[in-house]
Chains A and B, each alone.
Chain A
Amino acid sequence: MPNSRPTSPHLGIYRWRVNMLQSTLHRLTGLFLCLGALLVAWGLVAAATSDAAWSRFVAFCGSWIGLVLLFLWTWSLLFHLVNGIQHLMRDAGVNYGPANRDRTHDPVYWSAGWAITAISVVLTVLVWVLLLVQAGGGAA
Chain B
Amino acid sequence: MSAYPGQEGLRDPLKVARGMGASRSGVRPWWLQRVTAVALVPLSIWFLFLMGGVLHADYPTVLGTIAQPVHAIFLIAFVVCLFWHGALGLQVIIEDYVHTRWLALTLQIALRFGALLGALAGTMAILAVWLTGASYY
Number of A interface residues in the complex (CB < 8 A): 35
- Contact yes or no, B48 A48, CB < 8 A: no
Q: Known: A85-B41, A88-B38, A91-B34. Is A54-B62 also a contact (CB below 8 A)?
A: yes
0/1 string, A6-50, CB within 8 A of B gives 1: 000000000000000000000100110110011011001101100
- Contact yes or no, A37 B118, CB < 8 A: yes
- Does B44 make an interface contact (CB < 8 A)? yes
Partner of B90, one of A31, A84, A139: A31
What residue of chain A has the Cβ atom nearest to residue B132's Cβ? Answer: A48
- Does B24 make an interface contact (CB < 8 A)? no
- Does B121 make an interface contact (CB < 8 A)? yes
Number of B interface residues in the complex (CB < 8 A): 34
What residue of chain B has the Cβ atom nearest to residue A27's Cβ? Answer: B93
0/1 string, A68-87, CB within 8 A of B gives 1: 00000010010001001101
Task: Compute how far the CA of A40 lies from the CA of B51 in the bound complex, rounded to whole angstroms.
Answer: 10
- Does B89 make an interface contact (CB < 8 A)? yes
- Contact yes or no, B56 A139, CB < 8 A: yes
- Contact yes or no, A88 B59, CB < 8 A: no
Q: Known: A34-B89, A84-B37. Is A44-B122 also a contact (CB below 8 A)?
A: yes
> 20 other contacts beyond A47-B129, A74-B48, A77-B44, with CB at 8 A cut-off?
A27-B93, A34-B90, A41-B79, A41-B118, A41-B125, A44-B121, A45-B125, A48-B124, A48-B129, A54-B59, A84-B37, A84-B40, A85-B41, A87-B37, A88-B34, A127-B48, A130-B52, A131-B52, A134-B56, A139-B56
Q: List the interface of chain A (C-beta within 8 A of B).
A: 1, 27, 30-31, 33-34, 37-38, 40-41, 44-45, 47-48, 51, 54-55, 58, 61-62, 74, 77, 81, 84-85, 87-88, 91, 127, 130-131, 134-135, 139-140
13 contacts between A and B (CB under 8 A): A31-B89, A34-B86, A40-B122, A41-B122, A47-B63, A54-B59, A58-B55, A74-B48, A77-B44, A84-B41, A88-B34, A130-B52, A140-B56
